[in-house]
Every structure is written in C-alpha cells, then in structure tokens.
Amino acid sequence: MKLPLLVVFTFILISQIEHSECRQISWFPNVIDSISNKTNQISNYVREKGRTLKHFYVENVRNKITSYLGMDNSDSNNIEKPEDRQSRMNKKFKNIVVEAESSENNIFDTIAPAAVDYKCTNDDPMIHMSTPQLIAAHGYPAESHTVVTDDGYILTIHRIPRSKNAANKLIPRKTVLMHHGLLGSSADWVLAGPQKGLGYILSEAGYDVWLANVRGNTYSRAHISRDIDSFEFWNFTFHDVSQHDLPAVIDYIMEVKGLDTKINYIGHSMGTTVLFALLSTKTQYNKILRAGFALAPVAYMTDIKSPIKLLAKYSDNIEYLMKLLGANEFLPQNAVLRWLSKHACEINHYEEAICENSMFVLCGHDERQFNRSLLPIILGHVPAGASTKTLVHYAQEIKQNGKFQQFDFGPEDNLKVYGTATPPEYALHKITLPIALFSSENDWLAGDVDVANLYVKLVNPIEHYIVPLKEFNHIDFLWAVDAPSLVYTKLLQLLEEGVSKSVDDDVINNNLLDD
Ligand SMILES: *[C@@H]1O[C@H](CO)[C@@H](O)[C@H](O)[C@H]1NC(C)=O
Ligand SMILES: *[C@@H]1O[C@H](CO)[C@@H](O)[C@H](O)[C@H]1NC(C)=O
Ligand SMILES: *[C@@H]1O[C@H](CO)[C@@H](O)[C@H](O)[C@H]1NC(C)=O
C-alpha cells in the first residue's frame, strides 16, 4: 500500500528539475533550519506554502504520474506521445540516481532530516503512542510478546487478549492472527480507534487478537547477533518473512494457548503475500491454521497501476536499485512524513495537501472514504520500516509479467540456490487452507484480474468478496470510514461460519510442526 513513497519524492525532484521555476520544495530545509526560534513566522510560512504545495502537487506530481501511467486519456491538450514521455521520464529518473550516487547519498537523505528539535504544544498524544499504548488508551487490555525466529530476528508481537467489556477475565478460545502490509505494523489495525479499527471489532466479537510485526519494522528492529545498521540485518524479502517470522509467530501462539489452538489468519497486502508463500512451501501450516482471510491480496502482479511499476524497469540491476533506494532499509520512519505528522497541528493546510495528493499517488485516491482526522496518527506510525530487498522482490515480479515467484539472484546464483536458472514460482495449488479473498476495483496493487486468477488456484476457496464501492482502494481496507459496513461485517460472518463445514472437524496433527 505505501510502497511507492519513493516515487512520490522522486517525482517531486523530477518536477523540480523540469520546472526550475517551481521552487516550492526548496523551502523545506530552510524551514527546518530555523524552526526552533521562529515558530510563529514559520507556521504562517508553512501554511502559505502548504497551499502552494497543494497546487504544486496537483499540477506537477499527480498529473504527471497519471499521464505517465496512461490514465489521463481525457487530456486532449497533451501533445507529447506516451513513448516520448516515457523515455523522457526514464532519463530523468536515471539522472536522479546519478545525482544520488555522486553525492553518496540516498535520495531521502537530501530531503529527510535525521532529527528535528521542535516541540508542538497541542498535538494528539496518540501520534507518539506505541501499539500497546494505543490499545490501552482505549481501555482494552494490551500485551507485548517477544518471539525469536530460527534465524535470530527478535520480533515483538502485540495482543488484545480479550474485550474490555468482557464480563469475566477469561481469554476467549477463538483466536485470530493479523498481519500488516509492507511498511506497516501492528498499529495499522488499531489506530482508527474502537469504532472503526478491525483489531477492536474482532476483540468485541470474542476473539483473542494477535498482531504480528515483521522483521525490520518499528517493533522488530533487533537480532541476536546482527547489527541493525548492517546489510546482513536488512538482507531479507517477504520470502524470508514467510519462512521464518510467520512460523515462529504461529508456533509461539500455539505454545502459549495450546497445540490444539485453531488460528484464523487475517492479512493485508504483503500480509497476504507472506501467507501464500508460507502455505505453498511449508505446507504443514495448511493443517495448523483454521482459515485465511486476505484483504487486498497481493500474489500475481500483472495488473499494477501503482507507480511502483516504475521500479520494475530497474529490477534487473539489483545493485543499481539498492543504490537508489538505500541498500538496507527502505524509507526509514523518521523521514519527511513522520516529521510532518509531528507538526501537523501547525500545518493544517499542508496536511490537507498531503492527504489529497500523496495518498492518491500511492494507492489510488478515494477521498470520500478517507478520514482526515486520522492522518496525523497514520503518519505517526507509517512507514514502520521495510527492507529495500522486499521492494526489489516485488519489482522483479512485476518485471516478470507478474509471476508470483521467489527472489531472482541472477542466473548464476539462481543455479546455486534453486538449481535452476530462473527462480521457482510459488506452488499455489499446494495451498489447501480455506481462504477468502477481499478485493476492490480501485486497488492499484491488487488488481481484479490478478485476484481472480489467484482465486481459481485455491484448492479450498471460501469466497471472493468484491467490495461494493467502486472507489474503495488498497488502504481503505484498514482505515476507510465505511470499512466496518463494507468489509468487516462480511469478514466477521465468514470467520464465524465460512469454514466450519470444511475444516473444523479435521484432525489437527501437531507432529506436522516438525519441518
Ligand atoms: C535564531 O534567532 C537568533 C536571534 O534571536 C538569530 O541570530 C538566528 O539566526 C536565528 N536562527 C535561525 C536558524 O533562524
Ligand atoms: C544475503 O542473503 C542471501 C540468501 O537470501 C545469502 O545467500 C547471502 O549470502 C546474504 N548476503 C549477505 C551479505 O549476508
Ligand atoms: C474519524 O476519526 C476520528 C478519530 O479517530 C473519529 O473520532 C471519527 O469518528 C472518525 N470519523 C468517521 C466518519 O469515521
């Protein structure tokens, strides 16, 4: 969902080069320099510039990207041929890389300050709260658990063991494990508050709710021997998450709750990718889990409208991409958006600009479903961290006609790792877990065709539910104003009844845990 932030910034830079009269971005470092002792002046300045920037975004970023992606067919004034535009954009994109290389910087380093010393007086404390603090602030019990993977990553996962309204203190039998998407965290499921957040809604429905955190995100930035700043730490993709993090978390929950625990899995975006990768490789988990519910599922990637497509062109040259994006972590949390979120109380207009435009750029825009008052909290928790290698892996798949396949090390190394010159595709026909897919028409990452093709591959499909609202997009599954009525009601219904016929009577063989 939040993948193409890079591209947003890239386009800002591109636009600057192309339109040297557009200076709207260059004020940014100056603002930071002087922010500590010119509060009033600065906030007026930012407000004013915020309005300009909004205009700038629409004119220079949004329109460019939509036209680059061939989505502005109605634009009759556009005389440049798409091919010309494409090659021009490619050239600009390369120039950005060359610049970043020659200054030995990542692109972000030039626009994202490491730290800003500025206190905002009346901001929402929830911006700064961790997931358990958010949960507790709403009166629910919250727990943190530490899980160590078999390759040494130290994960912190969160839990809402029972509803705050539960009459007794017993922890319910029904169990659900929720997995966030790329650049997300456990906070994704709770930051919308008790009325709208799926984590709370499931808790109220009588579930013991576990919230995973992937290696490298805000809550899982530790390893038993690898340094967090080393390439060794960040040398992973969603495949490694599926092989190590997911089994560790699932096994841990069963250790805590008992080996006969039947875990329901709910994933969003990359949280679905890792489930499909797990079930098609470590197939014993098809018997261990009870059912899977995939929101905005990402497996095949032929039908991508998101600007992440731009990265695919460079996916053959991994080194080049690593240089461009930073070899280790992609878009660290203290980048521009995080800075902005902390100062949102000062910059309402700017906040609006970001909302209306960069969200659109990321995942397709659905202004009506987006709750603006959540924006500061969202920006305070997102992005939560991801490896550049994961981005590269997705980009490779797009390049390879959307095949759902393992990481491509190049022909020579593929031979060593896989025994074949090309990486193996994930064997989706081995997925026997009952699975329901939830998709929407306006999803730039989980397109209609890809989700339909995935659905027919499933051995035990429950249902393919298409959200009955045309504008509903990738991130709306988490934070849309009407997500409860459009998605969660159906999800709860399928959770309760959808799989009872197919698996509940199955004998779970715990010995299958041994790989
Ligand atoms: C902060 O204010 C002082 C004077 O009070 C001034 O000399 C200095 O240049 C200001 N710093 C910035 C970064 O604006
Ligand atoms: C990175 O991971 C791959 C396996 O995915 C491994 O073959 C390689 O040696 C690792 N590189 C480093 C520097 O750790
Ligand atoms: C938007 O979010 C705020 C803050 O969580 C909440 O109070 C409000 O009810 C939400 N509005 C809608 C329409 O969901």
Tell me the per-residue pLDDT of 123-132, one tens digit each, with 9 for 90 and over. Answer: 677 777 889 9
Taking the mean position of all CA atoms in its chain, how far away is CA 14? 25
Tell me the best of 231, 232, 235 to mutate to test the pocket of ligand 2, counting ligand atoms within 8 Å of each CB and taking the most.
235
Per-residue confidence (pLDDT) for residue 87, from 0 to 100: 56
474 is annotated as an active-site residue: yes
- Identify the residue whose C-alpha is closest to ligand 1 atom 5: 37
**Could you give the CA distance from residue 120 to residue 112 in angstroms, rounded to a whole number?**
19
**Could you give the CA distance from residue 439 to residue 232 in angstroms, rounded to a whole number?**
35
Q: Which atom of ligand 3 is nearest to the CA of 374?
A: 2
269 is annotated as an active-site residue: yes
Q: Is the per-residue pLDDT at 98 higher than 90?
A: no
Q: Is the CB of 371 under 6 A from ligand 3?
A: yes
Q: Looking at 162-176, 230-244, 412-426, which range is the least confident one?
A: 162-176
Rounded to the nearest integer, the mean pLDDT of the chain is 74
419 or 442: which carries more pLDDT confidence?
Answer: 419
Q: Ligand 3 center to residue 95 CA distance, Å?
A: 43
Please report, for the chain, the start and end positions of each structural domain, with discontinuous segments joined by +: 5-123+332-382, 136-302+398-513
Q: Is the per-residue pLDDT at 19 higher than 80?
A: no
Which one of 443, 450, 464, 476 is the catalytic residue? 443
- Identify the residue whose C-alpha is closest to ligand 3 atom 11: 371
**Could you give the CA distance from residue 183 to residue 387 in angstroms, rounded to a whole number?**
9
- Identify the residue whose C-alpha is closest to ligand 3 atom 12: 481
Q: CB within 6 Å of ligand 2 — which residues?
A: 231-232, 235
Q: Ligand 2 center to residue 388 CA distance, Å?
A: 14
Per-residue confidence (pLDDT) for residue 306, from 0 to 100: 64
Contact 198, 266 (CB under 8 A): yes
Q: For residue 470, give the DSSP letter.
A: T
Contact 171, 207 (CB under 8 A): no
Q: What's the length of the chain?
A: 515
228 or 423: which carries more pLDDT confidence?
Answer: 423
Q: Is the CB of 374 under 6 A from ligand 3?
A: yes
The H-or-E segment that residue 177 falls in is: strand 175-179
443 is annotated as an active-site residue: yes
**Could you give the CA distance from residue 446 to residue 301 in angstroms, rounded to a whole number?**
7
147 or 509: which carries more pLDDT confidence?
Answer: 147
Q: What is the dihedral of CA 301, 306, 309, 311, to 10 degrees?
A: -120
Q: CB within 6 Å of ligand 1 — which residues?
A: 33-34, 37-38
Q: Which atom of ligand 3 is nearest to the CA of 193?
A: 5
Show the tokens assigned to 444: 């730039």
Which one of 15, 269, 306, 315 is the catalytic residue? 269
Ligand found nearest the CA of 417: 2
CATH of the structural domain 136-302+398-513, one choice from 3.40.50.1820, 3.40.109.10, 3.10.20.30, 3.50.50.60: 3.40.50.1820
What b-and-e string marks burial along 128-164, b requiring 16 or more CB atoms within 10 Å of the CB? ebbbbebbeebebbbeeeebebeeebebbbbbbbbbe
